[in-house]
Amino acid sequence: MSDSARPAERRSLPTLGDDRLVLILAVISVVIILFFWAILPPSMAVNQSSDYQSSYEPVARQILAGNGPVTTDGTPATSYPPGHPFLLAGLFGLAHLSGISEPVVLSLFALACLAGSTVLVFLIARIIWKPLPAMMAALAWATYPLALWASKQPNPELPFTPVLYGAALIILGGVLRQRPTLTWRAAILAGIVIGFAMLIRPIAIGAGLMLALVIWFAAHATPARYRLLLITALLAGNLLMVLPWQIWVYAKTDRIIPLSSIGVSGIRDGLTFAVNAKGYRTGVSIPDQVRGLSMAFRERLAEMQTLGGLTSVVIEEARARPVAAAQLVAIKAARSWYGTDSNSLETPIALVQLLYLTLIGAGTWRLWSAGGVPRQATTGIWLLALYFWVMTMLVLSIARYTLPIMGLLFILIPGVLPHLNSTLSIR
């Protein structure tokens, strides 16, 4: 057979290694953030975080001065855990030592957090997908409008997100295999990392338990006894990280405060948000029955100062107005994905979220239908997502609180691509 008659040999295209893709994604993420900052109007570029100005920054200044995590009047700062103030104190100290202005240092930190979270989304996605679909998930996060918006102000969600993803990478990377490779040392490390996330955002108080469930259900090929060892190691690492803070708080206040002392007030705010303008909320449209229920909660705020009192009032009012209570739960469930504290920009946010959540839903269905390890991956990701969704529904239900889990959910989006099996790196 002549050379011209021979079938052409198949040559595989050259591929970039994951290490190069990581570097490329980090650079792309930084460029996207810088472009977003450049086009953002000055009126929108200002820091709109009241928590930063009233709590995080003052406590960080006290830490930097050597006074520990206390308020400006010297009382223990228990409204929020100390993770974010300690990070801010370190950044302020770095600014003073380097001579770089604090705003520039904070901006560089924001760049690092978002670029780092983009890389972590890619690394988690690579457990499930081949390189190109994994990059698709990471780029969805790098260009996500709500994440870019969050980058303009030093909210705790910035460092919380890559820390959460780091813990997820350790666990998912160890259990999403035909033969799981998670060791007890890695489980302890994941527990420590998720414990650090808890010290940044108290909403993660039960995230360690969710990761324990991921181990139990996703690593079902591992003997039950070893899974229990891994879960024990995870929770031990978790406790190791948060216990010093709990001991310090008890020594200073003679009270046991699980991470944050404003949990009850956050739940109260979530029940009355529609009838409590706070001087900056523009208001939301809700059914009259729900408004009446929220007014009833507001009138009984004096009875809702403790968790026990709040629970009693909620049960009483829900029994008296079951339809309104069900509607309020549904409204809070929906607002968790698009709501804002000021009630501004909620319609465009809802439209953006609807697009992403539709893609996530379609990808979820196809991965779940594939069975095997893809189904385990979907289960693990949604266990974490559902936890943060429920926790957001318990308090003020706004998109800022569900923002960190969106990057994990974006990992499911490549499921919409045709020829699913050819894009998976696992079976």
Percent of the chain with pLDDT over 90: 74
Instruction: Taking residues 47-71, report their average pLDDT.
Output: 88
Helices assigned H by DSSP within 300-343: 307-320, 322-335
What pLDDT, on the 0 to 100 scale, is given for residue 2?
41
What pLDDT, on the 0 to 100 scale, is given for residue 47?
65
pTM of the predicted model, to two decimals? Answer: 0.91
pLDDT surpassing 60 at residue 386:
yes
pLDDT surpassing 50 at residue 9:
no
For 140-155, how does the pLDDT look when each residue is reduced to its tens digit (9 = 90+)? 999 999 999 999 888 8
Instruction: Taking residues 76-104, report their average pLDDT.
Output: 95
Instruction: Taking residues 396-415, report their average pLDDT.
Output: 95
For 272-285, how does the pLDDT look when each residue is reduced to its tens digit (9 = 90+)? 988 887 878 888 88
Q: Under a CB-based contact definition with an 8 Å cutoff, are residues 81 and 199 in contact?
A: yes
- The pair of structure tokens assigned to 128 is 């499930």
- Return the higher-pLDDT residue of 43 and 216: 216
Burial 340-374 (b: 16+ CB within 10 A, else e): bbebeebeebbebbeebbebbeebbebbbebeebb
Q: Where are the domains of the chain?
A: 21-41+58-423
**Which of 57-61, 258-262, 271-275, 368-372 is most confident?**
57-61
Instruction: Taking residues 90-117, report their average pLDDT.
Output: 96
Instruction: Taking residues 338-349, report their average pLDDT.
Output: 90
Provide the β-strand partners of residue 76.
Answer: 70
Structural element, H or E, at residue 83: helix 83-98
Least confident of 40-44, 45-49, 76-80, 181-185: 45-49
Provide the β-strand partners of residue 401.
Answer: none
Helices assigned H by DSSP within 336-371: 346-370
The whole-chain average pLDDT of the chain stands at 90
pLDDT surpassing 90 at residue 68:
yes
Provide the β-strand partners of residue 424.
Answer: 129
- Return the higher-pLDDT residue of 153 and 336: 336
What pLDDT, on the 0 to 100 scale, is given for residue 12?
34
pLDDT surpassing 50 at residue 1:
no
Least confident of 177-181, 251-255, 284-288, 322-326: 177-181
Report the distance separating Cα 202 and Cα 117, nearest Å.
19
What pLDDT, on the 0 to 100 scale, is given for residue 11?
33
- Among 321, 302, 37, CA closest to 152: 37
What pLDDT, on the 0 to 100 scale, is given for residue 400?
92
What Cα–Cα distance (Å) separates residue 362 from each residue in 131, 269, 356, 378, 402?
A: 20, 34, 10, 12, 19
For 288-328, how does the pLDDT look when each residue is reduced to its tens digit (9 = 90+)? 999 999 999 999 999 999 999 999 999 999 999 999 999 99
At residue 29 the predicted structure's pLDDT band, cuts being 50, 70 and 90, is very high
pLDDT surpassing 50 at residue 15:
no
Query: What are the phi and psi torsion angles at 130 (to 5°)?
Result: -70, 170
Percent of the chain with pLDDT over 70: 94
pLDDT surpassing 70 at residue 199:
yes
